[in-house]
Structure 1
Amino acid sequence: MTLRFEEFYDWTKSELNLQLDGYKQKQLQRRITTIMKKSGANDLASYAEKIMADAQVKNDFLDYITINVTEFFRNKDIFTEFEHILTQELPQKFPNLKIWSAACSTGAEAYSVAIALKKKNLEKKSKIIGTDIDLTILQKAREGIYRDADIKNVDQTDLQRFFKAEEPFYHLNKDIKELVNFKQHDLILGKYENDFQVIICRNVTIYFNDEIKDNLYRKMSDALVPGGIFFIGATETIYNPAKYGLRKVGSFLYQKIE
């Protein structure tokens, strides 16, 4: 028996609780074909069997399909603009900050927020949640072990203060790791928490089609409190933010209209 991509998507949804039909198709199908061939499978049906029979094949599939690219203080100039709002402006408006790093991958973004808050003694007034669909990558986030490429934007003083170097790795200090609660969440299928002052979702929607992207922006906006901040990636633009109850306040920063 052979499977078409549409049937394979139905299978991933029923067996893996992973919705793939919302992704941009040409790009997605190239990625599936690449990882399928790497596994030794020649067609989607045999690949589905391999995924169910071999935990490593399953993990490789999930890791490859759910894009995991991140680094500390990604796009430094843009992050600095966000950091000013996070540590200077929002604390004047809100006594406590509830922050969500969505599709957090290995946790570098969530931990960057934790470091920024720690440096301003705001960590005790903040709650940081990091979510991703990939359980394997979430475990890596909890471990907090990184390489040179991940920490290239970290200032030397911060590197010495918040990391322990054990070449070729950098181990994040326990006091920073304890500031972030990681858990699994599917941006397309999952329910959203609410009452966030900050939501960070960067360079994720570029992989989704317009319908999924539109729905995601609506749900993100609904999850923010009035005056809350939505921080997106340098590869993304929200062309009509008012449609989602947002207004642009920075290069890649949007505020929930009060």
Structure 2
Amino acid sequence: MDFAEFKREVHRRFGLYLDGYKEPQLKRRIDSLISLLQVPDYAAYLRLLSQDSQQWQRFIDKITINVSEFFRNPEIFARLEKEVLPSLLARHRNLKVWSAACADGPEPYSVAILLNELAPAGRHQIDATDIDTSALDAARRGVYPSRAVQAVTPERLERYFRREGDHFYLQEKIKHMVNFRRHDLLKDPFDSGYHLILCRNVVIYFTTATQNELYRRFYQALAPGGVLFIGATESLFQYRELGFMKVAPWFYRRPEV
């Protein structure tokens, strides 16, 4: 079994679509797992994934790279807080937000904190999705190590978290503002009517063709006037061809008309 057949079988058996990922990076990660496990080939590794749920979770963790933290890139989140969200709230009392590939939740919870401060009376909808169900379970628990909250201000840390030892427990009110569900960006349908979509530091792992397709689908998922917020490591060079207007670095708006 070669690597192409392995990817097809993973899709057929588990519903996980791997063709959109950059192949050299993906193959390197999977080959490193196979080497560590001393599995002889892809066919044997596929059998192991079918039989051992822990190895399947290890596989998911390896290819998705669930690294996140609250207010990641604080200077960029400051622009979200002071410019982008106020602009959206000036036109919409209640915001519909999607945090795509949310990992274990710091990103959508950061948005929830901002909306709780900027528009506490609003009935906002914050959807947060990821392909990794274990990460989603951790997100729903809302318990984080100090590394994840290092960019949170002392005032917010005191207001929104309870510390027990080395762990920080997020306030229930903020947890209840976010709806978590499993979603595969490469194969599942997108909802629509979002005023803000965050997809940060994820698209870089996909091929150029897949990136462009995702950005096209994000555009369609936005309401007119809605904003796409991408990661600090990413660039949307063809934003005009896709229909976007550049609001600021890392922020792109779907025009009103």
Aligned residues of 1:117 and 1:123 also touching (Cα < 8 A): no
Aligned residues of 2:198 and 2:230 also touching (Cα < 8 A): yes
Are 1:202 and 2:200 an aligned pair? yes
Q: How does 1:15-164 map to 2 (within 5 A)?
A: 15-122=13-120, 124-164=122-162
Aligned match for 2:225, one of 224, 227, 236: 227
Equivalent pairs, count: 256
Give, in whole Å, the separation in 1 of the partners of 2:218 and 2:26: 24
Give, in whole Å, the separation in 1 of the partners of 2:11 and 2:77: 35
Residue 34 and residue 123 in structure 1: after superposition, are their counterparts in 2 closer, same or farther (change >3 A)?
A: farther
Give, in whole Å, the separation in 2 of the partners of 1:122 and 1:218: 32
TM-score, normalised to structure 1's length? 0.96
Give, in whole Å, the separation in 1 of the partners of 2:143 and 2:241: 40
Aligned residues of 1:100 and 1:196 also touching (Cα < 8 A): yes
Aligned residues of 1:194 and 1:224 also touching (Cα < 8 A): yes
Report what 2:5 is aligned to.
7
Are 1:246 and 2:244 an aligned pair? yes
Report what 2:178 is aligned to.
180
Cα displacement string for residues 144-165 of structure 1 (whole angstroms, at most 9, x for unaligned residues): 1111111000001100110110
Gaps of 5+ in 1: none
The Cα of 1:123 is off from its aligned counterpart by 6.0
Give, in whole Å, the separation in 2 of the partners of 1:44 and 1:243: 40
* Root-mean-square deviation over aligned CA pairs: 1.1
Cα displacement string for residues 72-123 of structure 1 (whole angstroms, at most 9, x for unaligned residues): 0000101111122343111111122000000000110000000111122336
Tell me which amino acid in the other structure corresponds to 1:189: K
Give, in whole Å, the separation in 1 of the partners of 2:7 and 2:225: 38
Give, in whole Å, the separation in 2 of the partners of 1:14 and 1:123: 46
Worse-superposed segment, 246-255 or 35-44 = 35-44
Percent same amino acid among aligned pairs? 40
Give, in whole Å, the separation in 1 of the partners of 2:24 and 2:230: 24
Give, in whole Å, the separation in 1 of the partners of 2:242 and 2:174: 33
Give, in whole Å, the separation in 2 of the partners of 1:131 and 1:227: 22
Give, in whole Å, the separation in 1 of the partners of 2:84 and 2:94: 11
